[in-house]
Amino acid sequence: MGPGEDNPRLIESTVLGRPIPSNTGDQMLETSRSMELATLSDIARIMSRVVSFDEKASQVVERLALVSEADWVGLRIPDERLLGLRLVATAGYESERSPLPNLLAYNQGMTGRAFQSSRPIVTQDYPNHADALQHHVDSGENSTMALPLLFDGRVTGVFTFGRREFSHFTPERVGLLE
């Protein structure tokens, strides 16, 4: 390649006066995939330990809080005796002004809607969402995601993620967690 010719391996954008390699997207995809595989490996290791369900749930929720960069993560499972979704594990902040309810009705909030629909629900402006719950609003959550846990086609639990920053749950972050 002679002087003045474009390097086909570089795109035209620059950062701090330096060209950005065209494979930047590939590198980001590879990094995301590596993080996904590391998370799956960590969760598999946690699940293979000989400890109680509650201990496993707590460790998985802590790992998901870390990888999702969420301020708060909770896991709720259906409790047929209590007729609702029971909170079994949390990681992150807790609000003393408005403590988390131990039990949500099957149709209550984003968690209940995700449970009923078997589909993830994401909002980037939680305080104005139709399913916003006051305890989460009081805690300052602005972005949330409810992610159902499926086994054999039925929902066995729902992970709920909260972040105080608006627009935190990008499609890439949601894809990593799904």
pLDDT one digit per residue (tens) for the chain, 178 residues: 444 444 444 333 333 344 444 444 566 556 666 766 776 677 778 777 788 888 989 998 998 888 888 999 999 999 999 999 999 999 987 655 556 789 999 999 999 999 999 999 999 999 999 999 988 888 889 999 999 999 999 999 999 999 999 999 988 888 888 8
Q: Which CATH code is given to the segment(s) 23-177? A: 3.30.450.40
Reduced to 3 states (helix: H, G, I; strand: E, B; else coil), residue 98 is coil
Prediction pTM value: 0.76
| Helix H or strand E segment including 53 | helix 53-68
In angstroms, the CA 86 to CA 37 distance is 29
Sign of CA dihedral 58, 37, 115, 168: positive
Residue 42: enclosing H or E segment and its boundaries?
helix 24-48
Contact between residue 46 and residue 25 where contact means Cβ atoms under 8 Å apart: no
In whole angstroms, give the CA distance from residue 40 to residue 99: 31
